[in-house]
Structure 1
Amino acid sequence: MAAQLRTRDYGQMLDLVVAVLENEDVDAAWHVMARQLLDSLGCDSATFSHVRVEEGTGAVVGWAPEPLSRVVDGLVQRRIQQRHPLLEYGLSETEPVNIADICDGWRNTNWYREARRDFGVTQQVGVPLTQVNGNMCVALLGRRGDFMSHDLTFLRRLQPVIQTMGHHLAEMKRLRSVGAPAVAGDLTPREATVLGLLAEGLTAAAIARRLAISPHTVNRHLERIYRKLGTNNRVSTLVVARAEGLVA
């Protein structure tokens, strides 16, 4: 039976969403998310890995609690070569999991020794985020001490939030690369992202799929955009946005 969450837990989830959506620096956004996770769960390390399993390549960013560089350099490739159990697990399963539960003799493995040496942690929990055709994104959180059923329930509820935030950050970064501003005028970062996708010709339904949110939520963002720009439809909104340099 899943552990019951407390009011404070939902408050921490909301804090994470607000922290990411209000952050204007796309490059620092994963750091913001990691710090929220570290604080909420009392963790000592957090890594987000993008893995291309068949190619044996990938990238990782991590904090313990400050940004890690040397320690995570080449980490994904090493874990693929070592056949880390989370990689196989993430190809078929979606539930957050204690690494010790999918790894026989956890405390006698190189993974345990490296986690303790590099991050000072004795337990880790994996959170599969996305998996498409062998390409996956996973979060790995560690701390000194066990993860309890309450922690896994919290991560299970938080998992789609992290996934949605990941889509949001990816779109903000992509829009930035094609010349869209990080924050347009009085718009929030989220509204600027929606406006940028609108300028690319996406419908509300397509924007919802891209950002992994509901069409109803997209329409609420559009209503606020219209109000702030003094418009009332898609065409006039794009005309005003382009005239004011809010979209490319």
Structure 2
Amino acid sequence: MHRKWGAWAAVLTLGLFAPASAPRLGAKEQKAVRQTNGTSEVRYSGGGKVQLVGVSYSPSDGQHWWNAQGAPISYAPSRPKSKSPLLAHGDEKARDFVFRCLGIPNNATVQITAPQSHSFDRWVTFQSRRPSALGIAATFPSSLHAVSIRVGVAGKPWKTIADVAPSSGAGLRFITRPWGARSITLGVSPPSQFNNSVGFTLSNTNVGADYQSRFAAVDRQGRLHPGVKLAGELSGRMYTQTISFQGMQIADVQKIVFQTRAYEWREFKNISLEPKS
């Protein structure tokens, strides 16, 4: 179960840290827990880095926070408030994780996943088109003392895999093009005019978690117009979307291009799920 915390990104303030006093550890929490050498920072070849700011019990309001190694920290990171926090059930524990992004390229896409989690909510927020903070609330088996979290950044230039002229007939027009050792199948519908935008139904073979993909329209002057996804559905290996190209007329569209770029994944290993005394 992956659910986005949309409200988190909406209310996150520009400062990543909000001054707050951390509650003292209770008597039960003072007991020694397994020490970890958790990762605090990862760097990317395309530029920038991501740092783990803190970990807390979830929901984390009024709770104390600790770092990747389990050492308590004296401040509570600024993070969005979830209207429906993720709660642990049965033999589970729930934790909040807050990260900050430094120097990640403008317009990059950031993904975060917790492979050992039962469920998680995730959020990403931006400042001036640049990713600035991200995090998750996740549930884990109560027997775990430390976990790994993966953060992927897709920030390098887009590569055009295929282009196709708009279909003039009824229904989707399909083409297949090579993509490395694989192939990509694309489907393009006839265009529809909606006031000052052109809409298409577009399909593509699912490219998997290691790549980001998009459709863009090329106008008669050769300019690229990335689309705005209005709806999408995955059926088998094919992903079908309704996409709008703003500020265009049907006569403006020379061709539709399909582009991909790879995620560069880094792993925060052995993050402590418990604070040290």
Which band: TM-score by shorter chain? under 0.3
Higher RCO by CA contacts (8 Å cutoff, separation 6 or greater): 2
**Greater per-residue helix proportion:** 1
What is the TM-score when the length of structure 1 is the normalising length?
Answer: 0.25
Larger Rg: 2
**Greater per-residue strand proportion:** 2
